[in-house]
Structures are given as C-alpha cells and as structure tokens.
Structure 1
Amino acid sequence: MKIIAYLYSDPLLEVAPNQEIWGLEINQVYQDFGKHEQLEQLIADCQQDKPDFLLIRRLDELGKNISIISDRLAQLESLGIKIIATEQDYNSFQWEQASNFDFTYNNDLKLNLSRLLQQIQVSSQSIRLKQGHARNRLKILPPPGKAPYGYRRGQDKYIIDKSTAPVVKDFFERFLLFGSLRGAVRYLEKRYGKKISPSTGRNWLINPVYRGDLKYKNKDLISNTHTPIINREEAAQIDRLLRRNSLLPPRTASAPRSLAGLVICQQCQLTMNITRVTRYKKNTEYLYLRCHSCPQNPKCKAIAYPEVLTQTIEKICAELPLAVAQLNLPDKTALEGALKTKVKQKQDIINQLPTLLKTGILDQETAAIRNYKLRTEISQLEKKIAQLPPGNLQAIAKDVSLPQFWLDLSESERRFYFREFIKQVEIIRENSQLWKLNLRFIF
C-alpha cells in the first residue's frame, strides 16, 4: 500500500508545518509554500505511479478558489486515488463503499462534500482579508483600527497628536514618580479632566505603541516604527514597577502610607493593615499596624506605625549595602555587548536584502518576509537589553543607605523607594511587648 501526502501553507499566515504530522508512515510528502508547484508535480507523478491514498489537511489546500479545488479533486479521484482530509469530514473511499448501499446514503456523502465546498467559499473572503493584513504587516504598517490615544494615523505610521500626547506623557511621568496606577488615573482626571479606568491606564502602561513599537494580533513585535512618547529606560522601569506591584495585596500600590502591603506578622503570617485612630474633636491621629483576621488567641497586638517605620529605615540603611555586596550580579557590560552584537548581525543581513532583491536571488515577497522576521528578532533582543539589571546597583545602594535620604522623602515618595528594594518587612514577636524586624530584599 502506497500513501502520499500533500501540505500547503501560506507564508503570510502560518509557519510551514512539519512533514511528520500525519502519525503514519508516508512514502512521499509534497509541500508547497504560497504556490502550488509541488501539487502539479504530485498530479503528474500520480499519472505515472498511482498511490493508494493521498492525505491532505483540508480541501482548500488544493487551490485558491472553489473551481480550482473541484477540478483538482475530480482529477485526482478519476485516477482512483482515495483522498482523506484529516482536518475535515471528508474521505473519498466512502464513495466506493456507498455504491454497495442505497442511493440515499450516496446522496448524503455528496451533500457532505457540497457543504464543505460552501464553507470554503464562505471562509475565502476572511482568508483574503487576513492576507491583506499580513501584507500590511510585511510593510510594517500600523494594524487596522483607531490609533491609540496620543497618536493619529499617518500615511504609513502613527504620528504624535500634539493635543493629546502631553496628557499621556504626564500620566507616564506620574506613574514613574509614585508607582501608583490608581494615583496616576486620579491625577489625570483632576489635572486634565480626562477620565479613564484603571484597566485602561494599565493598558496604556503596557502598550508597545507608546514605546515606538508595533505589536500585531499574532503577537509579533516590531520596534522603532514611529516616534515614542516614552523612552526605553522609562519603559523598562514601568515594567519593573508593574511586576513589583503585582506581588502586593490589592489597592496597596496606591495606599498613602509607605509601608502599606509590605509588613507581615511572622507569628500568624498575615499582612498587617494600617489602622488610623483619632481622638474625639481633636486633630491628632494615631497609626497602628494590626492583623484584623489574626487566628491567634489572644490576637496579636497592634504595633505603632511610626516605630515600625523608624526601625525599617534603620535596618535598610544598615543591611542594604551588605546585601547588594553579596549579590553575584552578571557582567552587564558583557551581556549587553553580546546582545548588541547579535542586533548588529541581524541589521547587517537586513541591509543586504536590497542587493539580494536586485540580483534576483530573492523575490519581493520572500525579501519582505525575511525583513519582517529579522526585525521581530531584533525587537526581542532589544527587549532583553532593556530588561538587564542596572549596572550601578552598588552605587545606588550606597546613596540610599543614609537615614536623612529617607527622612527627607514624603510618604508617597518613600513608598516608591521602599518597594524598589524591599519585598517584605517581617515582624518577629519575642513576647506581647517586644518585637523586632526582619527585612526581605527584592533581589
């Protein structure tokens, strides 16, 4: 028994499938990319040496329209070849089986084929639309739809909207300054009257368009396609802040107190909440840290917030430089140099594409696909470069190890810097009155 298979893939829409996807021992696999040259060869070979079975994934791989598909299907079946579509409900050897049964069963099979061809005809318009979008991707054009707030559509790229871009820029700067998404959203409404939801604000923070990049529906990213609103360093810091805030309890990222969400009780392993207490008809307020859902009996006692804050500052000044000194940090210069070398190599290949196109080694479509793939690879490398840790961490640790640095900050500013270095502040109780702190740094 001889079995052959045929694979067709549109390079604009999909990656070429592996020839061993069938799960059977295949005598020969014919594979086409964008054209049907191997299919014509398959038909010619079948006329000389007829196989028993032909495996295809879908009937629409046999041609670009219903007429061509029907003609090739009829041509192959007239040779006595049994065709099986593995991803559709079609196998032509049922026709022979049906000849031994009644006419109704045979009609059902014909109806099934007719239904499949109708489905292919309906989906062909969707496929043509996807191909049009894919061609636009190869030209590095913006995806369809309205431009993000802060931009407007140009002829072949996004252009900064001078009336709305300053609003977006101020939103990013506010988030970078205080590390609070909800705080930046409230600031935007108060300052500009621009009301957005926190989810929209988060989408702004992670949207590649504001970083000068394009991200398509297939998740491919192309960098440096238009003028950015924020630079690479700011984008990397935003990503770091978002990762850090995701580890904190809900809403504590924008809490007014610097230790909010950071302090846990070692005894009950619960986050300690900040409680505000005032005296009747007096402006004096008292702040305490306590576990509202403490399972202990008796419950863990509350601790004065200013005392915990003072000890946290003392501990971070004493322990941060030592913790940084013990880190085995990779050589950022070497890593960055290696990544930049790879970027340059790929850029050199892109620069050679016009010459290869001019000499006829590559056609227009192949050159466009190669250019697109290289630019996505460059974007991935540039993202890795931006995510490298700061090379001057020891110098930063030395600067922030002075108590006066922390005391001169406001609570919101102190909250920002605490979360840059501290993962958790653990309260260790020695008895009902005595306690001490243990800092867990983020690195």
Structure 2
Amino acid sequence: MKIIAYSYSDPLLETSPDQASWGWEVDQIYQDLGERSQLQQLLNDCETEPANYLLIRRLEELGDTLAQVSDRLNQLEVMGVIVIATEQKYTSEVSKFRVELLNLLQEIQRQQRSRSIRQGHARNRLEASPPPGKVPYGYRRGKGKYTIDRSTSPIVKDFFDNFLLYGSLRGSVRYIAKKYAKKISVTTGRRWLTNPVYRGDTAYQNGEIISDTHTGIISREEAAQVDRLLRRNSRLPSRTASAPHSLAGLVVCEQCQSRMIVTRVNQRYQEQEYLYLRNTNCPQSPKCRAIPYSEILEKTIEIVCRDLPLAVAGMNFPQLDTIKNSLNDKISNQQNILEQLPKLIETGVLDTETAKLRAYKLRTEISQLQAKLAILPPVNLRSVAEAVSISQFWLDLSEVERRFYLREFIRNIDIIRNGKDWDLQVVFIF
C-alpha cells in the first residue's frame, strides 16, 4: 500500500506545513509554495505508478478555481487514487462523503474567494500600501500611501503636543475640543496616541507593522515619550492622570495600605481653600489622620532633590548602552540587507516577488527592533536628574508641570506614620 501527501501554501499568507504533521506513515510528500509544479509531478507519477491514498489538508489546495479542483479530483479518481482531506469530512471512496461533495464544493468556492481577497491584501502589504478602511484623522489617501491632510493634521499635532507637555489624555481631549471644536472621546484620544500611522508607520490587521512608510505627524523621539507617558499613567488609578494636583494618585498610607486622595476644605464665608491628603476608605479605628497637602509636597520635593541623583547614579548605564548599541546594530544590518535587494534582482539571484516578500519581512523585523529600542530609558536621564535636584526648579513650576515631572520619576510615595508624626518614603520607578 502506497500513501502519498500533498500540500499547497501561498508564501504571501502562510508557511509550508511540517512534514511530520500528517499523522500517517507517508511514502512521499509533495509540497508546493506559490506554484503547483509539484502537484503536476504528483499526477505524472500516479499515471506511471498510482498510489493507494493521497492525503491533503483541504480540497481547495488542488487548484485556484472550482473547475481546477473538480478536474484534478476526477483525474485522481480515474487513476484509482483515494483522496482523503484531513481537515474536511471527505474521503473519495466513501459514498456518503461523495454525496456531500456538492456542499464541499460550495465551501471551496467561498474559501477561494476569501483567499483571493487575502492575497490582494497581502500584495498591498508587500508594496507597503495602506490597508483598506477609513483613513485616520489627519491623513488622506495619496498614491499608494498616506499623505498628510494639511487642514486636519495641525489638530492632531496640537493634541500630541499638549499630551507631551502635560501628560494628561483627558486634558488633551478637552484642549482640542475647546480650541478647535473637535470633540473626540477619551477612547479615540487613546487610539490616536497609540496609532502607528501618526508615527510614520503602517499597521495591518495581522498585527505586523512596517516603519517609515509615509510622513509622520510626530517624530520617533516624541513617539517614545508618548509611550513612556502612557505606561506611567497606566500605573495610576483611573482619572488621577488628569488631576490638577501633582501628588494625586501617588501617595499611599503605609499603615492602612490605601491610596490617599486630595480633598479641599473651605471655611464658611471665606474664599481661601485648604488642601489635605485624606484616606476616605481607611479601615482603621480611629481612622488615619489627614495631612496638609503642602507639607507632603514640600517634603517630597526635598527627598527628590536629595535622593534622585543617587538613584540615577545607581543605574547600570554601561549595560543600557550595550543593549541600545546591540539593537541599533541589528537595525543597521537589516537595513543593509534591504538596500542590497535591488542588486540581487538585477543579477537574477532573486525574482521580484521573492524580493518583495523578503523586503516585507525585513521591514517588519526593523519595526520590532525599533519598538524595543523605544521603550528603553532616555540616555539623558542623568543630566535631567541633575537639573531637577535643584529645589528652585520645583518652586518655579505650576502644579500641572510638577505633576508631569513627579510622575516621570516616582512610582509611589509612602506615608509612614508614628502616632501623630509621619515621614515619607519615595519609591522611584528605576
């Protein structure tokens, strides 16, 4: 008894299956990648020495059209080869499956139509063309790529600038609503901040990203800062990212392990306002006492000025530089290979289709490496730490500006109580 297997894979959509995945003891395996030359060889071999069984994953692998699939099934049947589709309920020698072949042919037609659409999308990816669908706000479709819409892109740019300045998503949403009458939801604003299109990249439905496909609205450095701010804000309680007070969301009472909130107190018939940090959900009895906001802020600034330079000095910058250099070297190597592809096409080493597929893979790998590089701390962290270790620097800032810098360096602030007295422990993010 002779058993053979055949598989067809489109290089634009998939890779060839593992030869050990059939689950049968197969005498010979025919594999096609892109073209069906091996299928023709299979048919020629069966004319001289017919096999007993042919294993395929799905019937539609036998051709690009329904007519081709039907014709090749008939050829195999005439030669006495029993076809078994391992991923479909079909065996050519079983009569009930032969009856169901009509239903399978309809499924094959649907699958081939779906494959044709996906192939079209895959070819667009090879050309780094934009995916189908609505164009992101701030852009319009040009000749095979996104082009900046000069009437709407300033709104997007101003949105990003405001977020980079204050680190508040909700604040940036309110800002463009007030200045441009452009109303968007917070969810839409978050999508803007994370959308690769605004960074000059194109993202596809399969999750892959190709870098530098068009002009970005923000630079690579600004994109890296946006990502750091989003990661920083994700550690904070909901809504505190846009709170007007710099300590909001950072202070934790060590005694009851609860986060403290900023509360306002006004005396009757007086306009003066007093701020306190209070734990409204304190489980202790008696409850932990509220502490004046200004005292904790003053103490926090004192500790930051004293301890931040020491914390930054303890970081392993040589190791960080090694990681960055390694990533940059890998990016440079991939770019060098990318630049050599046109010469390989001219010399005939690669055909155009293979070169496009290779270029696509190289560009997605470069995008992945750039993403790893972007999440690393900035190289100027030491100089920034020296600047913010001066107390006058903090006194000259507004509360919103202080909020930006405190959250850039601080993970949380622990209040350590000792009766009516208290002390602070500042936990940095590195």
Q: Does 1:42 align with 2:42?
A: yes
In structure 1, the partner of 2:31 is: 31
Q: Provide the C-alpha distance between the structure 1 equivalents of 2:69 and 2:186, rounded to a whole number of angstroms.
A: 51
Following superposition, the deviation at residue 155 of structure 1 comes to 1.1
Q: Provide the C-alpha distance between the structure 2 equivalents of 1:25 and 1:416, rounded to a whole number of angstroms.
A: 65
- Residue 283 of structure 1, aligned match among 271, 289, 308: 271
Q: Does 1:374 align with 2:373?
A: no
In structure 1, the partner of 2:15 is: 15
Q: 200-209 or 380-389, which moves further after superposition?
A: 380-389
- Residue 111 of structure 1, aligned match among 82, 96, 99: 99
Following superposition, the deviation at residue 355 of structure 1 comes to 2.3
% same residue? 60
Count of residues in correspondence between the two structures: 430
In structure 2, the partner of 1:134 is: 122
Q: What are the residue-to-residue correspondences of 1:192-207 with 2, within 5 Å?
A: 192-207=180-195
1:126-177, CA deviations, whole angstroms, 9 ceiling, x for partnerless residues? 2212211111111111112232111111112111111111111100000000
- Residue 281 of structure 2, aligned match among 290, 293, 302: 293
Following superposition, the deviation at residue 332 of structure 1 comes to 4.3
RMSD: 1.6
1:69-100, CA deviations, whole angstroms, 9 ceiling, x for partnerless residues? 011112223333332212212122423xxxxx
Q: Provide the C-alpha distance between the structure 1 equivalents of 2:44 and 2:345, rounded to a whole number of angstroms.
A: 32
Q: 39-48 or 166-175, which moves further after superposition?
A: 39-48
- Residue 332 of structure 2, aligned match among 340, 344, 348: 344
SS of the counterpart of 1:20? helix
1:21-43, CA deviations, whole angstroms, 9 ceiling, x for partnerless residues? 22344332211111111111122
SS of the counterpart of 1:145? coil
Q: What are the residue-to-residue correspondences of 1:174-193 with 2, within 5 Å?
A: 174-193=162-181
SS of the counterpart of 2:287? coil
Q: What are the residue-to-residue correspondences of 1:17-416 with 2, within 5 Å?
A: 17-95=17-95, 106=96, 109-416=97-404
SS of the counterpart of 2:340? helix
Report the residue type matching 2:337 in the other structure: I
Q: Provide the C-alpha distance between the structure 1 equivalents of 2:323 and 2:300, rounded to a whole number of angstroms.
A: 35
SS of the counterpart of 2:20? coil
- Residue 434 of structure 1, aligned match among 421, 424, 427: 421
SS of the counterpart of 2:423? strand
Report the residue type matching 2:140 in the other structure: R
Following superposition, the deviation at residue 330 of structure 1 comes to 4.2
Q: 415-424 or 148-157, which moves further after superposition?
A: 148-157
Q: Does 1:425 align with 2:413?
A: yes
SS of the counterpart of 1:374? helix
Q: Provide the C-alpha distance between the structure 2 equivalents of 1:295 and 1:84, rounded to a whole number of angstroms.
A: 68
Report the residue type matching 2:67 in the other structure: S
Q: What TM-score do you get using the length of structure 1 for normalisation?
A: 0.93
Q: Provide the C-alpha distance between the structure 2 equivalents of 1:171 and 1:27, rounded to a whole number of angstroms.
A: 64
Q: Provide the C-alpha distance between the structure 1 equivalents of 2:410 and 2:363, rounded to a whole number of angstroms.
A: 37
1:391-413, CA deviations, whole angstroms, 9 ceiling, x for partnerless residues? 22222111111111111111111
Show structure 1 runs of 5+ residues with no match. 96-105
Q: What TM-score do you get using the length of structure 2 for normalisation?
A: 0.96
Q: Is the 8 A contact 2:60 2:111 kept in 1?
A: no
SS of the counterpart of 1:405? helix
Following superposition, the deviation at residue 333 of structure 1 comes to 4.1
Show structure 2 runs of 5+ residues with no match. none
